[in-house]
Amino acid sequence: MATTVFARGGERVETFMSSDSAPLILLIEDEEDIRDAVSTLLEMEGYRVEQCVHGEDAWAWLSCHERPDLVLLDLMMPVMDGQSFLLRLSQERLLVDVPIVVLSGSPFQPEGAVAYLRKPVSVAQLLEMVGRFLPSPNAGSGEPRTS
């Protein structure tokens, strides 16, 4: 699957590839700017990323899509917050073997998360954390392509 990133003027900046076999990350974040930036960064690294706006949105997505390899979860969201999402996952024993990394401005790591990154998160911190739990989809294939 190829993804192209466009600058504001419509000029093509980058094209990058992620295969259907690349690890799938479920990103649950209510702030659109953060969600889009994190998603674009991870896609440029070759990961597949699905975006959800809150826990209820993610729950609906999980009911009809493939199991993700990693979940990046904000805590403070409307409708269903991250802690409620984690509680429901625990109660229903869903995604038991899937690592859940919290990305939040909240000062504590909730039960059910394997790791925690406090916002604002640097690119290096995010990529290092994702790399702890997932293989690099670009290993051996070089850097993302630029046009």
Write down the domain spans for the chain: 23-133
Record the pTM: 0.81
Residue 137 CA: distances (Å) to CA of 11, 18, 32, 36, 142: 27, 8, 25, 20, 10
Q: In 10 A of CB 127, how many CB atoms?
A: 15
Sign of the torsion angle spanned by Cα atoms 128, 124, 142, 21: positive
pLDDT digits (tens, 9 = 90+) for 101-111: 999 988 888 88
Question: In terms of CATH, what superfamily is 23-133?
Answer: Response regulator (3.40.50.2300)
pLDDT digits (tens, 9 = 90+) for 4-63: 444 444 454 444 445 678 999 999 999 999 999 999 999 999 999 999 999 999 999 999
Residues 126 and 116: their CA atoms lie apart, in Å, by: 10
Q: What phi and psi, each to the nearest 5 degrees, are found at residue 56?
A: -65, -40
